[in-house]
Homo-oligomer: A and B are copies of this chain.
Amino acid sequence: MKLATLNDGTRDGKLVVVSKDLTRFTDVSHIAPTMRDALDNWADVKKHLQNADQGLMVGSVPSERFHEHEVMAPLPRAAQWADGSAYVNHVELVRKARGAEMPQSFWEDPLMYMGAADAMLGARDAIPAGDEDWGIDLEAEVGVVVDDVPLGISPQDAADKILLVTILNDISFRSLIPGELAKGFGFLQSKGPTAFSPVAVTPDELGDAWHDGKLHLPILVQLDGELFGKADAGVDMTFDFPTLIAHAAKTRKLSAGTIIGSGTVSNKLDGGPGKPVGEGGVGYSCLAEIRTIETINSGKPETPFLGFGDMVRIEMNDTDGRSIFGAIEQVVVKV
């Protein structure tokens, strides 16, 4: 099942079920007016939503053309947003460029930060920034939306709490990060609002690509129309989603509608840093990583961060080349 939130002028939008091929939708606001309502009552509404999905497939319910530019984030206001750094390769690389050692414990204990969940961006919303000097960067990630999760859940039990899967762009302001992290309390000003794909999907929709608590497909990143990255989200993911959920819930419960992110997808090929797509590599899911590799190789970064007017596109295709989530496509604009 694929779900989206249409922009109807309200803060939480209107819930719709979208066809597998992302061309049609059927209004399900009589079942649950918003995604939030659906997640609040998932056990009760799931079956009704599935019936609507079946109806959409066989043409027995009213449907309309689905346009990706008409959506909000699937959850415009999420219960909570906690983002992991499951691709430890990425963390190690970024630290290396800064000249900072990565503690060995990072391979066993997930790194995770709390973000703002109150103003999630839709797939075509602009990336708002006040200044190019902030070091505007994308971060292409996978995320899961969970049901209510009790305090102290095990990773085994956490696997069953994953209701929806999505891809996302965790916008970072790199130039603000060192000063803010040095203060010791984590990210606040150095993270912009997070953007999500047009649809979120139930795990069964991913077929064989979803196993072991990971999504085993490349995440495709384009910058200004050029392919920049195609790292496989199932490769080098040190902590799977159930482990990340259990980490977030170790000392407090999570409410339904909490989103847990994977962190920037990053593959460590052949034991060394990744190569650009043009040189036969899988490329990158953020600019910080290529700048890091440039710094390691030649002493300084060459690729600039995003500027006003630059366009980021993030997508994921199934093994037949069909878009699963629709595309995140954002232009950076000055606010």
Residues of A within 8 A of B (CB): 11, 40, 77, 79-80, 82, 85, 103, 106, 109, 111-119, 128-130, 134, 151-152, 173, 176, 181-193, 247-248, 250-255, 257-258, 335
User: Which among A112, A188, A193 has the highest number of chain B CB atoms within 10 Å?
Assistant: A188
Q: Write out the residue numbers on chain B whose beta carbons fall within 8 Å of the beta carbon of A80.
A: 116-118
Which chain B residue has the least Cβ–Cβ distance from A119?
A: B255
Q: Write out the residue numbers on chain B whose beta carbons fall within 8 Å of the beta carbon of A335.
A: 151-152
Which chain B residue has the least Cβ–Cβ distance from A251?
A: B189
Q: Write out the residue numbers on chain B whose beta carbons fall within 8 Å of the beta carbon of A257.
A: 118
A-B contact pairs, 8 of them (CB 8 A): A111-B183, A113-B185, A114-B188, A119-B252, A119-B255, A130-B151, A189-B250, A192-B251
Given the complex of chains A and B, what is the CA–CA distance between A82 and B80 in angstroms?
A: 12
Contact between A112 and B251, CB atoms less than 8 A apart: no
Q: Write out the residue numbers on chain B whose beta carbons fall within 8 Å of the beta carbon of A189.
A: 247, 250-251
Report A82 CB to chain B, min CB distance, Å: 7
Q: Write out the residue numbers on chain B whose beta carbons fall within 8 Å of the beta carbon of A113.
A: 114, 185-186, 188
Report A83 CB to chain B, min CB distance, Å: 9
Partner of A187, one of B111, B114, B191: B114
Contact between A114 and B111, CB atoms less than 8 A apart: no
